[in-house]
Amino acid sequence: MVGEKDLIARIKKSLIAKAEKDPSWTLFLGKEQLSAADLLKRLDKDKALRKMVIESSFALAIEMWNNEGRHKVEGNSGST
């Protein structure tokens, strides 16, 4: 299982790549807008933001896992 430190390291690596590839990328948090570079800076300092990013990452992973499993079942049933 991936620990919090490893997950944050992977998220940071992804954000660095995102900042270089698409500088216009923006995360909207209510009224606040964060670029990938801004989010990188805040992840170490803002515990509430870090917790939200980690929880969102796990929720997205579970959703993707569930969708992938459903597609495999539907694909094996002979129907489209």
pLDDT tens figures, 66-78: 887 666 655 555 5
DSSP state of 13: H
Which long-range contacts does 57-60 make (Cβ < 8 Å, 24+ apart)?
Answer: 57/7, 57/11
* The total number of structural domains that make up the chain: 1
Tokens coding 28:
């909207």
> Cα–Cα distances in Å, from 36 out to 22, 24, 30, 40, 42?
9, 9, 16, 6, 10
- Dump pLDDT digits (tens) for 9-66: 999 999 999 999 999 999 999 999 999 999 999 998 999 999 999 999 989 988 988 8
Our measurement of the distance from residue 55's CA atom to the centroid of its chain's CA atoms, rounded to an integer in Å, reads 9
CA 24/CA 18 separation, integer angstroms: 9
Domain that holds residue 46: 4-76
Please state the pTM of the whole predicted model: 0.70
